[in-house]
Structure 1
Amino acid sequence: MAESVQYLLIGSTEPYTGKSAIALGLADLFQTKGLKIVYGKPLATDMGDGEGEDASDADLQFIAQTLKLSHEQLRFPILTLDETTIRQRLLDKNQENYPQSLTSYLQKPSVDLILLEGPRTLQEGLLFDLSVPQMANQLDASVLLVVRLHSHLALDDLLYAQKDLGKRLLGIVINDVSPDELEITTSEIQPFLEAKGIPVFGVLPRNDVLRSVTVKELVKQLKAQVLCSKERLDLMVESLSVGAMNVSSAMKYFSQSKNMAVVTGGDRTDIQLAALEKSTHCLILTGQLPPAPMVLSRAEDLEVPVLSVDLDTLTTVEIIDRAFGQVRLHEPVKVEAVNQLMKEYFHLDRLIQRLGISFPVTAMN
């Protein structure tokens, strides 16, 4: 089996495309086909985004548990990209041959497929010869790119990636497509890319569950004080609402969303009470103003966490907006969501054909 092992490297042209989610969903699909896989992440990153060796270890352990992988089927990072390792490289104190280390790191696998998650961009890791194109060349690996098309300008990035990767580029997955962009993506962008020789293996619509964030993560991002219901910080927040209007308008506004984080001034008792009667999973009070006792009492009754932040409303909203879609896939509900999306919208048989994988006769269920 080792002689015919295939390498598939999951990459992206920019951070936060949902690469980890797609890789996990793809691994699940391969396993249902009866393939034995190795899953790895050669390069970990710690560049101010809360990642790093410990986080990568936690990510891989979660993946191992979710996919029921043995220790032999996991490959932990051979390098963490951070200020220390970069400085050592610049000062000639780190002269390790990482391409050679990569080959050793993956040698003799008794599996059908080695699935590797690349760094956040195509360029990241160049200093250590561990960028996606370099790893693909070293391993003779195919590359699947996960992209978010924020605008038509993102097409330039894809066309550049095609030139950079050449025959290594297997194709792409377009992820997190908003409802109003779905039609143009499938009727115009996808045919254009296919005509340019870039296969599109899936167009995945936006999913609120996958973009959601735990209240605990919001507490961390906002450096917030938890005023009540500390035991409910595992609640998932799927949408953001700002309470800056009169109560009548607020009630109509809040009725249009579910599993909300509601941001409002600490002195807006009327808005706070109105929000608690709707689908609110978290109440965030700005201006470091203490809420009325009746608000905390009602929040306790409903088990809704109330947070207090020493920030203005605009800054609070900006921080929460950044948090959506940029959190790890550590909740089972997210795993279920991505697996369902992949089953419904990802063209696995076409990918299998392009990879040239030979499957076991008997597929596992």
Structure 2
Amino acid sequence: MPKSPKYLLIGSTEASSGKSATILGLSNQLRQAGLDIAYGKPLGKSLRESEGSLIEEDVEFITRSLNLQPNQVAPTLLALNETTLQQRLSGKDTTDYQQSLASEYLQDNLGDLVLLEGPANLSEGHLFDLSLMQVADALDAGVILVFRYKSLLSIEALLFAKQLVGERLIGIVINDVPAEHLQAVNNTMRPFLEQHDIPVLGILPKSNLLRSITVGELVHQLNAQVLCRGDRLNLLVESLAIGAMNVNAAVKYFRKRQNMAVVTGGDRVEIQQAALETSTQCLILTGQLPPPSFILNRAEELEVPILSVDLDTLSTVEIIERAFGQVGVHEPIKVECVGHLMREHFDINRLLTLMDLSPATTLS
């Protein structure tokens, strides 16, 4: 007779904190320990219909990345959007989602451990009884909170989260810590949190690669016109540079940066030229002025896409900065990077002990 699986819910206090990335990295370590894992995301965002069932973007990606079989993936119960909210508020949707959760997720055939991806924050999904704590209570799940580091002031939000999650909190992962803050996080933040019964399972350093965004995503976000090299939209942009200074200053500035998107005016030909000769993944031209043919020809040779936007520089930069903060891990190179970071900086043995899980294989 199969034993019932344990449940571990990966949550966060705000959106885009790194839940999917944590699940990817964690899954590989758990498998190395010989554990049979399953995955589910009860509350989804971007759902589409495929062969009569709802498919969630993150679920599809994680299923493919981890090569999960259909019986290792629990279904997404609801897409949270304006339409579903309206239906709930008007009384058209009277579904008992707690009952749906129990019937779909409390299955004995889901292996040793079910990794659950939680909502964007601690309150999302509450109207449908699918908030982080409502899911945790329904499935008797332990909780790991992934927290994107901003400053030492973040401690207050973590203490408040601990108060809400209570005894279900297995531990936290502090994500995206800049190199210059790692010492303070390790020597000041970690001991304080541990004293307050908040186990720090991992402190992940900031990675430009994980924050990177494809040129294609920038085209989508900016509603941009692609002027050349539309075949290179899969290039990853790690940083943003604004070409608003004189050309000598621009060259020095560009040489210090890697894999950048350069935003400059369509009339700043000398800046465009300088950008193309440095580590530029795409040129984004504002003002709807077409570049001269020699710039387009050089970009073609160097395989650098040029985009044209109907926006001013400030608006363009704001949209790109926002996009950097919301990127997922939907590229193989990012999955590899996440795996490396988790192996280096996450205490898998401590997690197994806290959850009373016995690995079939000893992990070093």
Q: TM-score range by the shorter chain?
A: over 0.9
- Give the match for residue 48 of structure 1: none
Distance 1:4 1:198 in 2: 27
Distance 2:362 2:5 in 1: 18
1:265 matched to 2:265? The reply is yes
- Give the match for residue 216 of structure 1: 216
- Give the match for residue 171 of structure 1: 171
- Give the match for residue 100 of structure 2: 101
What do residues 297-346 of structure 1 show as CA deviations (whole Å, max 9, x unaligned)? Answer: 10011110000011111111111111114122110000000000000000
Distance 1:187 1:219 in 2: 42
Aligned-residue sequence identity (percent) comes to 55
Q: CA deviation at 1:86?
A: 1.1
CA RMSD of aligned residues (A): 1.6
Distance 1:110 1:15 in 2: 27
- Give the match for residue 308 of structure 1: 308
Higher mean Cα deviation, 141-150 or 177-186? 177-186
Contact 2:44/2:56 (CA < 8 Å) preserved in 1?
A: no
Contact 1:124/1:131 (CA < 8 Å) preserved in 2?
A: yes
Distance 2:17 2:58 in 1: 16
Show the 5 A alignment for 1:1-365. 2-45=2-45, 51-53=46-48, 57-106=56-105, 107-360=107-360
Q: CA deviation at 1:121?
A: 0.3
What do residues 113-134 of structure 1 show as CA deviations (whole Å, max 9, x unaligned)? Answer: 0000001001101001110111
Distance 1:287 1:52 in 2: 36
Contact 1:44/1:81 (CA < 8 Å) preserved in 2?
A: yes
Distance 2:181 2:321 in 1: 20
Higher mean Cα deviation, 108-117 or 136-145? 108-117
Does the residue aligned with 2:115 lie in a helix, a strand or coil?
A: strand
What do residues 38-59 of structure 1 show as CA deviations (whole Å, max 9, x unaligned)? Answer: 11100012xxxxx344696332
Q: What amino acid does structure 1 have at the position aligned with 2:75?
A: F
Aligned CA distance change for structure 1 residues 18 and 56 (closer, same or farther; 3 Å): farther
Distance 1:193 1:109 in 2: 36
Q: What amino acid does structure 1 have at the position aligned with 2:168?
A: R
Does the residue aligned with 2:3 lie in a helix, a strand or coil?
A: helix
Contact 1:241/1:262 (CA < 8 Å) preserved in 2?
A: yes
> Runs (4+) of structure 1 moved beyond 4 Å?
53-56
Distance 1:279 1:110 in 2: 47
Which TM-score applies when normalising by structure 2?
0.95
Which TM-score applies when normalising by structure 1?
0.95
Q: What amino acid does structure 2 have at the position aligned with 1:188?
A: T
Does the residue aligned with 2:285 lie in a helix, a strand or coil?
A: strand
Q: CA deviation at 1:88?
A: 1.3
Does the residue aligned with 1:283 lie in a helix, a strand or coil?
A: strand
Contact 2:143/2:171 (CA < 8 Å) preserved in 1?
A: yes
Question: Tell me, which stretches of 5 or more residues in structure 1 are unaligned?
Answer: 46-50
Question: Tell me, which stretches of 5 or more residues in structure 2 are unaligned?
Answer: none
Contact 1:53/1:80 (CA < 8 Å) preserved in 2?
A: no
Distance 1:306 1:272 in 2: 10
Distance 2:261 2:176 in 1: 21
Q: What amino acid does structure 1 have at the position aligned with 2:139?
A: L
Q: What amino acid does structure 2 have at the position aligned with 1:84?
A: T
What do residues 213-268 of structure 1 show as CA deviations (whole Å, max 9, x unaligned)? Answer: 00000000111000000000000001111111111111111110111101111000
Q: What amino acid does structure 2 have at the position aligned with 1:81?
A: L
Aligned CA distance change for structure 1 residues 305 and 343 (closer, same or farther; 3 Å): same
Q: CA deviation at 1:61?
A: 2.2
